[in-house]
Structure 1
Amino acid sequence: MNELDVVGVRVEMPSNQPIVLLREVGGDRYLPIWIGPGEATAIAFAQQGMAPARPLTHDLFKDVLEAVGQELTEVRITDLREGVFYAELVFASGVEVSARPSDA
């Protein structure tokens, strides 16, 4: 399994669709994942250290995890079927939860 870092949010042209761009750690390969405008905004805010006036869904999820003592250790992109990416959230407790990569 290859480790990836989030490069950032970009707009893919000419479709004008937001993507989150991932880069292989220690490599030259990139993986674009098409996301929605809301997810793009949330990722961009988090990368810039900006906090919205009210918590967004991912902020709530992070706060709930902290409140119940769970630690997210990794996100795995597990599949690509018919143009749709699939992911799993992996927690320190060993629990794995299916997720959209844009939400993970």
Structure 2
Amino acid sequence: MNNMIEVQIDSVRVHLMTPNRLVVLKQVNEDRYLPIWVGPYEAEAITIALQEVEVSRPLTHDLLRNVFSAFNARVTRIEIVKLENDTYFGAIIAELNGKELKIDSRSSDAIALSVRAHVPIYVHPSVMEAASIIPEEEVAENAAPPPKAEPAPLSKEGVERLSVFENFLEKIDFDKPEDKDKPEDDTSDPPKKPKKK
């Protein structure tokens, strides 16, 4: 277990585009995260244990814990030992009659068991190096806002255009109520009837 990095379950997240879930492990005392894709059933098993939901009958990982207990074996820790072709390899470490047993396991099953057995999770440094995420530092709340850019001076042509627009706005009578019954162009004379020949 030399140099193994202890992590804790930070969250279980849903991916809206796929049925898979994401278990996010956080390094203890560090702002460093390891995301692991798991199936929906394994994610549900982890979530149920985290939320301490009571079930009427033992689920698969409850059964696994009960089997260890029935044979007087004690689960001591969980390890994520390898990452190969985007697949995480886990291991269940248990003690039986004073001997340490290392049992190959899917990482999702090992994590689900760790929640039920209340044992720590460790990750091999090479796995953390290859797949962990360190979030970017957030901008401090007290940081001064960036200086505002001074507006560029208008050219002579721009000033003339603004003057024309200003004159146009001054001629508009905003207080005059609109007569909806009149046509849009009510300034012209009504059309004259054609003269009979």
- Normalising by the residue count of structure 1, what TM-score does the alignment of the two structures yield? 0.92
Alpha-carbon deviation of 1:67? 1.0
State the AA in 2 paired with 1:95: L
Q: Kindly report the root-mean-square deviation, in angstroms, between the aligned alpha carbons of the 2 structures.
A: 1.4
State the AA in 2 paired with 1:21: V
Aligned to 1:25: 28
Give the helix-richer structure, 1 or 2.
Answer: 2
Q: Bigger relative contact order, structure 1 or 2, given CA contacts below 8 A and separation 6+?
A: 2
Structure 2 distance, partners of 1:99, 1:16, is 22
Q: Are 1:67 and 2:70 matched, yes or no?
A: yes
Structure 2 distance, partners of 1:51, 1:71, is 23
State the AA in 2 paired with 1:94: E
1:49 maps to which of 42, 52, 56: 52
Q: Which consecutive unaligned segments of at least 5 residues does structure 2 have?
A: 111-197
Count of residues paired in the alignment: 104
State the AA in 1 paired with 2:104: S
User: Which 4+ stretches in 1 moved above 4 angstroms?
Assistant: 13-16
State the AA in 2 paired with 1:2: I
Aligned to 1:79: 82
Q: Which consecutive unaligned segments of at least 5 residues does structure 1 have?
A: none
**Partner SS state of residue 83, structure 2:** strand
Give the strand-richer structure, 1 or 2.
Answer: 1
Give 1 or 2 for the bigger CA radius of gyration: 2
State the AA in 1 paired with 2:9: V
Q: Are 1:102 and 2:97 matched, yes or no?
A: no
- Normalising by the residue count of structure 2, what TM-score does the alignment of the two structures yield? 0.50
Q: Are 1:7 and 2:10 matched, yes or no?
A: yes
Decide whether the 8 Å contact of 1:23 with 1:31 is kept in 2.
Answer: yes
